[in-house]
Amino acid sequence: MLEAGGDLGTRLADEEFALECWRRLGSAAASGSDLWWKARCGLIDVLAETDPDRAREVLEQIRALHPEFGPPTFRARLQDLDIRLATDRIRAGADEPDLEDGGLDEEDEEEEVPAPGSADGEPAEGGES
């Protein structure tokens, strides 16, 4: 029943219901069983849409305990989720300001900076003209 609920909630984009089903199924299933792996995959899949940071955390927990990403029937799906989450993170990072330049826009970078030794860019007294 929980498996069907998780599938249905995922397909209907009812994330709250789907997450609840996948979490309960994962808790009830024997660790390492096909049902447990399906619940993990379903949970990460929904979290990838609703809370990508949490999805990455769950995936990293799985990677730490199961570096091979589980049985072959679920390995490809977990690898796909891993790639999807990494790609989404890279894309999201492209929208954020570049911290190396202090988050300045191109037009901000074009402003002239005063020369050392003076506040207004004019040579300090006794300096070269």
DSSP character string of 14-80: -HHHHHHHHHHHHHHSPTTSHHHHHHHHHHHHHHHHH-HHHHHHHHHHHHHH-TT-SSHHHHHHHHH
Average pLDDT score over residue span 98-124: 48
Does the residue 102 lie in any domain? Answer: no
In a domain, 105, yes or no: no
In a domain, 103, yes or no: no
Q: Is residue 48 part of a domain?
A: yes
Q: What predicted TM-score, i.e. pTM, was given to this entire model? A: 0.68
Does 86 score more than 70 pLDDT? Answer: yes
Parent domain of 74: 2-94
Task: Please tell me the predicted confidence (pLDDT) of residue 90.
Answer: 87
Domains: count for the chain = 1
Q: Is residue 92's pLDDT more than 90?
A: no
Domain assignment present for 37: yes
| The predicted structure's pLDDT at residue 88 | 86
Kindly report the number of other CB atoms within 10 A of residue 14's CB atom. 15
- The Cβ of residue 84 has, within 10 Å, a number of other Cβ atoms equal to 15
Region 37-64 average pLDDT: 94
Instruction: Output 126 or 32, whichever has higher pLDDT.
Output: 32
Q: Is residue 59, in this structure, part of any structural domain at all?
A: yes
Average pLDDT, the chain: 81
Region 14-34: mean pLDDT is 95
> Is residue 97 predicted with pLDDT exceeding 60?
no
Is residue 77 assigned to a domain?
yes
Task: Tell me, yes or no, whether 99 lies in a domain.
Answer: no
d(CA 20, CA 41): 14
